[in-house]
Amino acid sequence: MRAVTWQGKEKMEVTTVSDPIIQEPTDMIIQITATAICGSDLHLYHHGSAVLEKDYVVGHEPMGIVVETGKEVKKVKKGDRVVIPFNISCGHCHFCTHDMESQCDNSNPNPDVDYGGLFGFGKVNGNYPGGQAEYLRVPFADTSSFVVPESNLPDEKVLFLSDIVPTAWWSVENSQVKPGDTVIVLGSGPVGLLAQKFAKMKGAERVIAVDCIAHRIEHSAKTEGVETFNFMEADKPGKALKELTNGGADVVIDCVGMDGVESKTSEKLLNTLSPQMGTIAPLKTAIECVKKFGTVQMTGVYLSPAAFFPLNELFSRNVVLKSGQAPVVHLMPKLYDMISNDVFDPTEIITHVLPLEKASEAYQMFDEKADHNIKTILKP
Ligand SMILES: NC(=O)c1ccc[n+]([C@@H]2O[C@H](COP(=O)([O-])OP(=O)(O)OC[C@H]3O[C@@H](n4cnc5c(N)ncnc54)[C@H](O)[C@@H]3O)[C@@H](O)[C@H]2O)c1
Ligand SMILES: [Zn+2]
Ligand SMILES: [Zn+2]
């Protein structure tokens, strides 16, 4: 089959790989109809050598049609239309039965780590080749899938249930945004834009979107109707945001992560001796602009230790830091209902729908935020 594979730093290419097969009686194989590129794939694009081998199939936001099921698959049937969550969830461990599927005890056989498995993130993360491909092997098929009810909803409406819609929802719930709050969302990428929408939906009085890319800032203002702040225009963005919110926001949600950009570049010099990958500038900004006793939600991904992390700032201002991979599986049915009842429209962020064969160009465009790109869907 054809699949997007990691070929080295900043090289994602469509190559021919062997078709996936059923390995366990609880597996299924799906034929992919749509699959998205995520900010998390950009971390692999830049730092893939940390977790991937050459030729590894990437992608964790797929959906499609079930073509084959293992003997012990009960709920899902051949022909079903399914969205596959990025968390691989066994469905019966403590974490899977308590809405914490991203920490499933049984989906990551790597003995060196203690967290759940993920599609498209190499052996470290359980060795599950990803979903930017024509076919995908889905382990724990009954629980690592959402069967789309019969409807006229196109793939574009339901695909983001695989990750960014529930991730943004969870980010807002996990950080306990409440009516009247001031919320700063760092990043107006796909995750940030949805977090801005959901923060407003939860009753936040003031939502401030922070980015430096003109078309994304504009999207925040026009489509999400929130205040905007271009961090490149400030010498000290954290300080400026704290002033703008009269002492800081109740909640700051970092939807940027390690591949964010810094307004002033000093961190690289400081970190030459540490194992840090990428930057922690967004997280530092978040800690600076949150209110005393406020909450910083770290949704953006950071994949390495960081030597100059401002632990003292957290401590001295009683800041709560929450983080992690979003547990998305239990949120899919509820968010599907919201989409099918037109409570919100996840297609607003789609700027490009391209054939899978164009993946290499699509990655470059997403990384450069070129051609007004926000979210790209690939179709095999
Ligand atoms: N925790 C989870 O479960 C989970 C799930 C999905 C995605 N993510 C992570 O969420 C993050 C966002 O994903 P995305 O798809 O929206 O990616 P994206 O790269 O498209 O969006 C990031 C945005 O942040 C902006 N940005 C860069 N530096 C910044 C800074 N210093 N301050 C403010 N904004 C800055 C960029 O211009 C960009 O628009 C990524 O780190 C991704 O890995 C986490
Ligand atoms: Zn994703
Ligand atoms: Zn489990």
Q: How many domains is the chain built from?
A: 2
Q: What is the pTM of this model?
A: 0.97
- Pocket lining for ligand 1, CB < 6 angstroms: 38-40, 42-43, 163-164, 167, 186-192, 210-213, 216, 231, 255-257, 260-261, 281-282, 285, 299-301, 325-326
- Ligand 1, residue 260: give the atom nearest the CA: 28
**Residues in Cβ contact with 270 at an 8 Å cutoff, skipping those fewer than 6 apart:** 307, 308
| DSSP assignment string, 199-226 | HHHTT-SEEEEEES-HHHHHHIIIII--
CB 223 within 8 A of CB 348: yes
- Listed residue (34, 32, 35) closest to 1, CA to CA: 32
Does 251 lie in the same domain as 128? no
Which residue's alpha carbon is at the smallest distance from atom 25 of ligand 1? Answer: 187
Judgement on whether residues 128 and 250 belong to the same structural domain of the protein:
no
The tokens of 333 are what? 């049915």
Atom of ligand 1 nearest to the CA of 374: 20
Which of 306, 323, 340 corresponds to the end of one domain?
323
Are residue 54 and residue 144 in the same domain, yes or no?
yes
In a 3-state reduction of DSSP, which class is residue 360?
A: helix
| Statement to judge: residues 205 and 319 lie in one domain | yes
Does 170 share its domain with 319? Answer: yes
Residues 98/46, Cβ–Cβ less than 8 Å: no
Residues written for the chain = 380
Instruction: Indicate which atom in ligand 1 lies nearest the CA of residue 188.
Output: 39
Question: Are 30 and 98 members of one domain?
Answer: yes
What are the residues whose beta carbon lies below 5 Å from ligand 3 (ion)? 90, 93, 96, 104, 106
* DSSP assignments along 46-87, one per residue: HHGGGT--TTEE----EEEEEEEE-TT--S--TT-EEE--SE
pLDDT value at residue 215: 98
Single residue among 288, 306, 323 that ends a domain in this structure? 323
Helices vs strands, H then E, count in the chain: 11, 18
Which numbered ligand comes closest to the C-alpha of 297? 1
Cα 96 to Cα 90: distance, rounded to the nearest angstrom: 7
What is the distance of C-alpha 26 from the center of its chain?
26
- pLDDT at site 275: 77
Last residue of a domain, one of 305, 323, 341: 323
Q: Are residues 216 and 300 in the same domain?
A: yes
- How far is it, in rounded angstroms, from Cα 238 to Cα 89? 37
pLDDT at 82: 98
pLDDT at 276: 84
Residues 109 and 11 in one domain: yes
The CATH number of the domain where 196 resides is what? 3.40.50.720
Q: Are residues 178 and 120 in the same domain?
A: no
Atom of ligand 1 nearest to the CA of 38: 15
Strand, helix or coil for residue 4:
strand
Cβ neighbours of residue 318 under 8 Å, at least 6 residues apart? 292, 293
**Residues with Cβ within 8 Å of residue 181, at least 6 apart in sequence:** 199, 203, 204, 205, 206, 249, 250, 251
Domain that holds residue 76: 2-163+327-379
How far does the centroid of ligand 2 lie from the alpha carbon of residue 85, in Å? Answer: 9
Q: Minimum-distance ligand to the CA of 278?
A: 1
From first to last of its 380 residues, what are the pLDDT tens digits of the chain?
A: 999 999 999 999 999 999 999 999 999 999 999 999 999 999 999 999 989 999 999 999 999 999 999 999 999 999 999 999 999 999 999 999 999 999 999 999 999 999 999 999 999 999 999 999 999 999 999 999 999 999 999 999 999 999 999 999 999 999 999 999 999 999 999 999 999 999 999 999 999 999 999 999 999 999 999 999 999 999 999 999 999 999 999 999 999 999 999 876 556 666 666 778 889 999 999 999 999 999 999 999 999 888 889 999 999 999 999 999 999 999 999 999 999 999 999 999 999 999 999 999 999 999 999 999 999 999 99
What pLDDT does residue 341 have? Answer: 98
Q: Which atom of ligand 1 is nearest to the CA of 299?
A: 1
Nearest bound ligand to the CA of residue 116: 3
| 252 and 372 in a common domain | no
Distance CA 250, CA 274 (A): 32
Same domain for 248 and 147: no
Residues 204 and 313 occupy one common structural domain: yes
The pLDDT of residue 272:
65
Q: What CATH number does the domain containing 74 carry?
A: 3.90.180.10
Ligand 1 pocket, mutate which of 41, 99, 161, 191 (most atoms under 8 A from CB) = 191
| pLDDT confidence of residue 307 | 82
